[in-house]
Structure 1
Amino acid sequence: MVRRVINASLGTQLFLLQMVIVLMAVGGTAGVWVQHTRNQLAKQYQARALVIAESVAALPEVRRAFSAPRPELILQPIAMSVQRAAGADYVVIANRDQIRYTHPNVSLIGKRLSTDGSPVLRSGEPWTGVQTGTLGRSVRGKAPVFGADGRVIGLVSVGILEETVTEQLGDALPPLIWTVLGVLIAGSAAAALIARRVRRQTFGLEPREIAALLEQREGVLHGVKEGVLALDLTGRVTLVNDAARELLKLTEDPVGRSLAEIPLTERIRDVLSGGDPGEDRIVLRAGRVLVLNRTPVSVRGQHRGWVVTLRDRTELVRLARELDQASSATEALRAQAHEFANRMHTVVGLLELGEYEEATRYITRTTQAYSEFASDIRERVGDPTLAALLLAKSAEAAERGARLVVTADSDVAAGAVGDPQDAVLVVGNLVANALDALDGKGGTVEVHVRTDEEGLHIRVRDSGPGIMPELAEEVFRDGFTTKVAHSGPRGLGLALTRQTCRRRGGWVRVHNDGGAVFTALLPVPARTPTAPSETTDMHPADLK
Structure 2
Amino acid sequence: MAVRLGRRPTLAGQLLVLQLAIVVIVLVAVAAVSLAQSAATFNRVEGRRVTLLAEQLSSSPALRFGIRNPAPAEMLAPALQTSLAQSGVTSITVANSEGKVIAATNPTLIGSDLTYGDQAGDKRRGWSGELRGDGGTELVAQVPVLSEGRNANGTPDGSLGDHIGTVMVGERAPSVLQRLRGASSYLAIYLGIACVLGLLGSWLLARRIKRQTLGLEPREIAGLAEHREAMLYGLAEGVVALDPHLRVTLVNDVGRRLLDLPSNAVGKSLRELGVEGRLRDVLAGEDEARDAVVVRRGRVLVMNRMSVTKDGRSLGSVTTLRDRTELAQLERELGSFRSSAELLRAQTHEFANQLHTISGLIQIGEYDEVVTYVGALNRYRESLDLTVTRRVHDTTVAALLMAKSSLAAERRVELRVSERTTLLRLDPALSADIATVLGNLVDNAVDAAAQSGTPLSPAWVEVELRQDATSVEIVVRDSGPGVAPELAQEVFAHGFTTKAAAEGERGIGLAMTRLICRRRGGEVAVTNLTEGGAAFVARMSTQRTPEGAR
TM-score higher than 0.5 here?
Answer: yes
| Contact 1:400–1:440 (CA under 8 A) maintained in structure 2 | no
TM-score (normalizing by structure 1): 0.86
Aligned residue among 495, 505, 512 for 2:528: 512
1:50 maps to: 51
1:8 maps to: 9
Of the structure 1 ranges 307-316 and 452-461, higher mean CA displacement relative to structure 2 is found in 452-461
- Cα deviation for residue 422 of structure 1 reads 0.6
| Contact 2:521–2:549 (CA under 8 A) maintained in structure 1 | no
Aligned residue among 237, 242, 246 for 1:231: 242
Q: Name the amino acid aligned to 2:423.
A: V
2:364 maps to: 353
- Cα deviation for residue 315 of structure 1 reads 2.2
TM-superposition CA deviations, 1:264-288 (whole Å, max 9, x none): 5644334334454433222223332
Q: Name the amino acid aligned to 2:140.
A: R
Q: Name the amino acid aligned to 2:103.
A: T
> Per the alignment, do residues 397 and 163 of structure 1 end up closer, same or farther by CA in structure 2, a change over 3 Å counting?
closer
Whole-angstrom CA distance in 1 between matches of 2:91 and 2:545: 115
1:147 maps to: 147
2:78 maps to: 77
Matching of residues 472-483 of structure 1 within 5 Å: 472-480=488-496, 483=499
User: 1:148 is paired with a residue of what secondary structure?
Assistant: strand
TM-score (normalizing by structure 2): 0.85
2:541 maps to: 523
Matching of residues 361-372 of structure 1 within 5 Å: 361-372=372-383
> Per the alignment, do residues 483 and 129 of structure 1 end up closer, same or farther by CA in structure 2, a change over 3 Å counting?
same
User: 1:15 is paired with a residue of what secondary structure?
Assistant: helix
User: How many residue pairs end up in the alignment?
Assistant: 528
- Cα deviation for residue 253 of structure 1 reads 3.5
Whole-angstrom CA distance in 2 between matches of 1:122 and 1:412: 120
2:341 maps to: 330
User: 1:364 is paired with a residue of what secondary structure?
Assistant: helix
Q: Name the amino acid aligned to 1:192.
A: W
1:287 maps to: 298
Aligned residue among 437, 448, 469 for 1:437: 448
> Per the alignment, do residues 344 and 164 of structure 1 end up closer, same or farther by CA in structure 2, a change over 3 Å counting?
closer
TM-superposition CA deviations, 1:234-288 (whole Å, max 9, x none): 3322222121122223454422333233355644334334454433222223332
Whole-angstrom CA distance in 1 between matches of 2:106 and 2:392: 137
> Per the alignment, do residues 219 and 165 of structure 1 end up closer, same or farther by CA in structure 2, a change over 3 Å counting?
closer
Instruction: Structure 1: give runs of 5+ residues left out of the alignment.
Output: 529-535, 539-544
| Contact 2:247–2:270 (CA under 8 A) maintained in structure 1 | yes
| Contact 2:39–2:179 (CA under 8 A) maintained in structure 1 | no
- Cα deviation for residue 427 of structure 1 reads 0.6
- Cα deviation for residue 101 of structure 1 reads 4.5
Whole-angstrom CA distance in 2 between matches of 1:86 and 1:419: 116
1:257 maps to: 268
1:131 correspondence with 2:131: yes
| Contact 1:120–1:155 (CA under 8 A) maintained in structure 2 | no
Q: Name the amino acid aligned to 2:21.
A: V
Matching of residues 52-451 of structure 1 within 5 Å: 52-68=53-69, 70-106=71-107, 108-109=109-110, 111-116=111-116, 122-133=122-133, 135-149=135-149, 150-151=160-161, 152-163=163-174, 167=178, 169-172=180-183, 174-250=185-261, 252-262=263-273, 264=275, 266-299=277-310, 301-415=312-426, 418-442=429-453, 443-451=459-467
- Cα deviation for residue 71 of structure 1 reads 4.0
- Cα deviation for residue 83 of structure 1 reads 0.9
| Contact 2:100–2:114 (CA under 8 A) maintained in structure 1 | no
| Contact 1:121–1:144 (CA under 8 A) maintained in structure 2 | no
- Cα deviation for residue 212 of structure 1 reads 2.3
- Cα deviation for residue 72 of structure 1 reads 3.8
| Contact 1:416–1:455 (CA under 8 A) maintained in structure 2 | no
> Per the alignment, do residues 168 and 360 of structure 1 end up closer, same or farther by CA in structure 2, a change over 3 Å counting?
closer
TM-superposition CA deviations, 1:216-251 (whole Å, max 9, x none): 211111111101112223332222212112222345
1:531 maps to: none
User: 2:266 is paired with a residue of what secondary structure?
Assistant: coil
Q: Name the amino acid aligned to 1:512.
A: N
User: 1:336 is paired with a residue of what secondary structure?
Assistant: helix
Whole-angstrom CA distance in 1 between matches of 2:381 and 2:394: 19
Whole-angstrom CA distance in 1 between matches of 2:484 and 2:13: 70
1:503 maps to: 519
Whole-angstrom CA distance in 2 between matches of 1:418 and 1:165: 96
- Cα deviation for residue 160 of structure 1 reads 1.9
Whole-angstrom CA distance in 1 between matches of 2:244 and 2:97: 88
> Per the alignment, do residues 481 and 526 of structure 1 end up closer, same or farther by CA in structure 2, a change over 3 Å counting?
closer
| Contact 2:470–2:543 (CA under 8 A) maintained in structure 1 | no
2:479 maps to: 463
TM-superposition CA deviations, 1:337-392 (whole Å, max 9, x none): 33333333333333333323223322332243234323432333232322222122
Taking only the aligned residue pairs, the percentage that are identical comes to: 41
| Contact 1:265–1:537 (CA under 8 A) maintained in structure 2 | no
Whole-angstrom CA distance in 1 between matches of 2:139 and 2:524: 103
> Per the alignment, do residues 95 and 487 of structure 1 end up closer, same or farther by CA in structure 2, a change over 3 Å counting?
same
TM-superposition CA deviations, 1:63-87 (whole Å, max 9, x none): 3444555444442212111111111
Whole-angstrom CA distance in 2 between matches of 1:315 and 1:108: 107
> Per the alignment, do residues 166 and 309 of structure 1 end up closer, same or farther by CA in structure 2, a change over 3 Å counting?
closer
Instruction: Structure 2: give runs of 5+ residues left out of the alignment.
Output: 150-159, 454-458
Whole-angstrom CA distance in 2 between matches of 1:527 and 1:132: 94
| Contact 2:34–2:183 (CA under 8 A) maintained in structure 1 | no
- Cα deviation for residue 331 of structure 1 reads 2.5
User: 2:433 is paired with a residue of what secondary structure?
Assistant: helix
TM-superposition CA deviations, 1:120-173 (whole Å, max 9, x none): 994433221222446553221222223221123222222222358964653336
- Cα deviation for residue 444 of structure 1 reads 0.8
CA-atom RMSD in angstroms = 3.3
Q: Name the amino acid aligned to 2:18.
A: L
| Contact 2:524–2:537 (CA under 8 A) maintained in structure 1 | yes
User: 2:229 is paired with a residue of what secondary structure?
Assistant: helix
